[in-house]
Amino acid sequence: MALPLAAGAQTKVKETAVPQSVLLALEKTYESYKVKTWYQATGQYIAELVVDGQHGRAFFTATGDWQYSTFPVKVEECPTLMNTYFVNNYPGYRIRATEYVEEMNGDNYYRLTIQKKGLAAEEYEMIFDTRGKLLQTNAPDPDEVKRDYYTHNNPDEGGSTMNRDRRPRPVVDNPVVEKKGPTDAIVANFTKRYPPTRLSKGPEWVARDDDKMVAYYSNNQGAEFEAVYSLETQALVMTGKVLSEERYTSAILKYLKQAFRGEKYEVEKMVVYEYDAKYRGVDGKKPKPYTYVVVSQKQKGGGRTYTRMEFDNTAKFVGLLAQPLDEKDIQ
């Protein structure tokens, strides 16, 4: 089984411009459907459609052969075995997308797109069967991921304390570990932007991932913020504003109501992140703002479970995160 190739540049076209062979192939593939938009790519036609109430995309060759279809699904709707595999084997990674894929040869499976937390990190794909068993992936080896994650979060133990099973060896004492802190340049930049007279609380500095430092602070009006700095460039990357409940984005609340339909939940946190005016992504452009949301639900045996989500600047769901952003995030 090969990972389906994503179509390249796509151009919206009218149905009248779609070859009859492609239209007939769509009719043979699905008995009941509604096409919303047609797109054309190199050697392909893509139908953005609704099948049995579910939105998706069907891909066809220019000669009218159906290749495969993809349907976005919620992580909680995927097999438990699949979700457990990701959480246990890829700490420090986030889920960018989950799809259910139908292929012309009869293979149906789940495709999970993951990404290491951090700026401009590479995305990887995982293919799971309908029961949640991993079939194929181009993601890094899980043992290497867990070892790197452990090393970054336990810098004092290094490689010499790792045994052949890649587990930490017992330590006789528990020395105090000095936490990573901001550089003098980062502190100076923050103080210049946010003088102490304008703050009612903070800053409290916390490491995020292995390449950023975050200042948690409140202004004189009591509003909470996060200033995210790059350890590599020593510059401000973005600022996050923690929204008060009355300012929660209505479109996101509507999405959550549908996603957790029939279930009890609470929105614990909603933060809008906006990139600094001088910051540029790998494409040379300033990235658009996005929103981070944490939702909690009570467990039957006590305690709470947390679902962490990201939404783009249009309040469209982007993906799930498997881990808290940092030690200050809701655990």
d(CA 100, CA 129): 10
Total number of domains constituting the chain: 3
Q: Is residue 211 over pLDDT 70?
A: yes
Q: Is residue 145 part of a domain?
A: no
Q: Which residue has the tokens 């109430």?
A: 53
d(CA 184, CA 111): 44
Q: Is residue 146 part of a domain?
A: no
81 vs 248 pLDDT, higher one: 248
d(CA 321, CA 37): 30
- Structural domain including 38 reads 11-72
Query: How far is Cα of residue 52 from the mean position of the Cα atoms in its chain?
Result: 27
Query: For the chain, what is the mean pLDDT?
Result: 86
- Give the model's confidence band at 7: pLDDT under 50 very low, under 70 low, under 90 confident, else very high: low
17-34 tens-digit pLDDT = 999 999 999 999 998 899
Which DSSP string corresponds to 154-166?
A: -TTTTGGGB-TTS
CATH number at residue 24: 3.10.450
131-180 tens-digit pLDDT = 889 999 999 999 998 888 877 776 665 544 444 444 444 444 445 545 67
**Within this chain, do residues 216 and 304 fall inside the same structural domain, yes or no?**
yes
Q: pTM for the whole thing?
A: 0.52
Q: Is residue 262 part of a domain?
A: yes
The mean pLDDT of 102-128, rounded to a whole number, is: 87
118 burial level (CB within 10 Å; 0-12, 13-18, 19+)? middle
**Within this chain, do residues 194 and 300 fall inside the same structural domain, yes or no?**
yes
d(CA 136, CA 4): 12
Question: What confidence score (pLDDT) does residue 187 get?
Answer: 93
Cβ count near 82 (within 10 Å): 22
Amino acid type, 34? K
Q: Is residue 246 over pLDDT 90?
A: yes
The two three-digit tokens of residue 33, written as one number: 């459907």
